[in-house]
Structure 1
């Protein structure tokens, strides 16, 4: 299985890791789990925002990888870009959690550009 597909799995799991991190050390009521987020400390709220952002960006990345590979884009290049995407998304989450908005926005834009590059790669084969 291509490395890029494993990156899709990592990107799919990343939001749940961030969501769990957001609730670390905070009392939680599993009957109303989404109501807990309003009462989180700032760092945990930022982790939850990173969780939401990871959920929002995942579909495009996953579709881009599948399209690129099914349309015959070079496997090595898709794999390389997919790994870069994961590194950028992890950096984005860390920058979000540690309140670095300018760097976070730049890394977000870079990750989106990588996703677009994966998507359009078959057009240049």
Structure 2
């Protein structure tokens, strides 16, 4: 497996751990019989964790498809790997800013992550222009 493919797995684990950790920390109040109970998410931190989790679910498909398409269409693997690692780092920072209630920085990080996804996605189209 390539580094970029491991980053797909890492991105998946990130959005799962974002919500699992909040449920684990609040285990005395979390009712597994009603895992989507809105009352559990009334707490501001839990609410932000849910938002970060949901955004991770939204961001994951585009990232996974972009990486796999770039690899399938023989984009420069080293660049794909580097951008995938950068995307994962940006996503980790995004989750931390979401949990830390830093909306402006969070939006900037989201935009950077989306730009990275676009770069990976369109990399095969531009491969003739890459110096590698």
**Aligned match of 1:19:** 19
Any unmatched runs of 5+ in structure 2? 128-132
CA-CA distance at 1:36 after TM superposition:
5.0
Q: Note closer, same or farther for the CA distance 1:21–1:124 as it changes in structure 2 (3 Å cut).
A: same
Q: Which runs of 4+ in 1 moved over 6 A?
A: none
**Aligned match of 2:6:** 6
Q: Note closer, same or farther for the CA distance 1:121–1:39 as it changes in structure 2 (3 Å cut).
A: closer
CA-CA distance at 1:38 after TM superposition:
4.5
Instruction: State the TM-score, normalized to the length of structure 1.
Output: 0.95
Q: Contact between 2:40 and 2:46, CA under 8 Å: does it hold in 1? A: no
Bigger Cα displacement from structure 2, 30-39 vs 70-79: 30-39
**Aligned match of 1:52:** 54
Instruction: State the TM-score, normalized to the length of structure 2.
Output: 0.90
Any unmatched runs of 5+ in structure 1? none
Question: Which protein is richer in helix relative to its size?
Answer: 1
Alpha-carbon RMSD:
1.2
Of residues 79, 82, 87 in structure 2, which corresponds to 1:80? 82
**Aligned match of 1:111:** 113
CA-CA distance at 1:22 after TM superposition:
2.4
* In structure 2, distance between residues paired with 1:96 and 1:9: 21
Rg comparison, structure with higher value? 2
Q: Secondary structure at the match of 2:124?
A: helix
The number of equivalent residue pairs is 125
